Amino acid sequence: MSLFISEAHAAAGAAPSGGGMEMIIMLVVFGLVFYFMIMRPQSKRMKEHKSLMTALSKGDEVLTQGGIVGKIVKVSDEKDFMVISIAENTEVTIQKSAVSAVLPKGTMKSL
pLDDT tens across 50-60, in order?
Answer: 998 888 999 99
* Residue 1 pLDDT > 60: no
Predicted confidence band at 12 (pLDDT cuts at 50, 70, 90)? low
Residue 5 lies in a domain: no
Residue 30 lies in a domain: yes
The percent of residues in the chain predicted with pLDDT above 70, rounded, is: 83
Which residue range is the domain that position 80 belongs to?
A: 23-110
Q: Which residues pair with 64 in a beta bridge?
A: 99
Residue 7 lies in a domain: no
Residue 101 lies in a domain: yes
Residue 53 lies in a domain: yes
pLDDT tens across 34-84, in order?
Answer: 999 999 999 999 999 899 888 899 999 999 999 999 999 999 878 889 999
Contacts of 80 (CB under 8 A, 6+ apart): 95, 96, 97
| Rg (alpha carbons) of the chain, rounded to whole number | 30
Structural domain total, the chain: 1
Q: Which residues pair with 92 in a beta bridge?
A: 84
- What distance lies between CA 7 and its chain's CA centroid? 57
pLDDT of 11: 57
Q: What is the pTM of this model?
A: 0.65
CATH number reported for the structural domain that contains residue 36 in this entry: 2.30.30
